[in-house]
């Protein structure tokens, strides 16, 4: 029964992905929409992303939600510029809620894509080298690695989600660890993003670097402690 369920899930997921690819080549409006998304991400500028989302008016929040899920699947597009844009457009509290919930939806989707389609399919979405490096990280720290990785901006959020789906890890432990680990970063990015105008972007860059270094120091201390304990 379980194998039949997995087979049906795989067929549904593959069909949905194929339909999305076909729509890109068949419907010019959809193609232009996707191309515009990639252009906004490629700019690396939250103001460009903000303008893209804002143009949809009453549907802006729904478009932002879609963008976060889209970047999750199409790793490694930078998610933080959506978070900054959301905060600047909707206010930092509403922006944080939108960014957190949409990133959680994206993480869940990546987890199940990996769980259903397996490693071969995931390697077409992310590089084999990156996946191997995350595998080693998971082998050593297990569920705790998700909490740590979510605090490090330079570790791909989506890569961790895909890698978790390839392990024996259950969904809810993954989902809870992701939610807890992602929340501090979302709040920080959203609070600062809500104030970003012009030169304040430099302040944001400095804060991101400081945040990353703090998390990295904590990670290195944990690694050193674990290695020392293993020797003893």
Q: What confidence tens digit (pLDDT) does each residue in 142-182 have? A: 667 787 777 666 677 888 899 899 888 889 989 998 998 88
Tokens of 210: 């400081």
Q: What integer pLDDT is reported at residue 70 of this predicted model? A: 93
* Model confidence pLDDT, tens digit, residues 93-139: 999 999 999 999 999 999 999 999 988 888 877 777 778 878 887 87
Average pLDDT score, the chain: 82
Distance CA 105, CA 172 (A): 13
* Model confidence pLDDT, tens digit, residues 193-231: 777 655 555 555 555 555 555 655 665 666 566 666 666
191: CB partners within 8 A, 6+ apart:
87, 92, 96
Torsion of CA 88, 93, 94, 99, to 10 degrees: 80
* Model confidence pLDDT, tens digit, residues 25-42: 999 999 999 999 999 988
Q: What integer pLDDT is reported at residue 153 of this predicted model? A: 60
Confidence grade of residue 46 (pLDDT, cut at 50, 70, 90): confident
């Amino acid at each position: 029964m379980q194998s039949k369920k997995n087979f049906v899930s795989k067929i549904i997921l593959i069909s949905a992905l194929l339909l999305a690819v076909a729509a890109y080549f068949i419907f010019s409006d959809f193609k232009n929409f996707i191309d515009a998304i990639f252009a906004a991400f490629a700019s690396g500028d939250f103001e460009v992303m903000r303008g893209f989302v804002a143009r949809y008016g009453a549907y802006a929040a729904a478009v932002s939600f879609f963008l976060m899920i889209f970047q999750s699947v199409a790793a490694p597009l930078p998610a933080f510029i959506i978070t900054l844009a959301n905060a600047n457009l909707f206010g930092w509290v509403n922006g944080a809620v939108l960014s957190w919930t949409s990133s959680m939806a994206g993480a869940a989707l990546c987890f199940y894509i990996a769980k259903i389609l397996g490693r071969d399919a995931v390697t077409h979405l992310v590089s084999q080298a990156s996946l191997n490096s995350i595998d080693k990280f998971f082998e050593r720290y297990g569920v705790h690695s998700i909490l740590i990785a979510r605090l490090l901006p330079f570790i791909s959020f989506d890569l961790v989600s895909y890698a978790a789906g390839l392990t024996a890890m259950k969904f809810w432990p993954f989902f809870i660890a992701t939610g807890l680990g992602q929340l501090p970063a979302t709040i920080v990015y959203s609070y600062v993003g809500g104030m970003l105008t012009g030169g304040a972007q430099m302040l944001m860059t400095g804060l991101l670097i400081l945040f990353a270094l703090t998390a990295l120091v904590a990670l290195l201390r944990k690694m050193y402690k674990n290695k020392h304990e293993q020797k003893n």
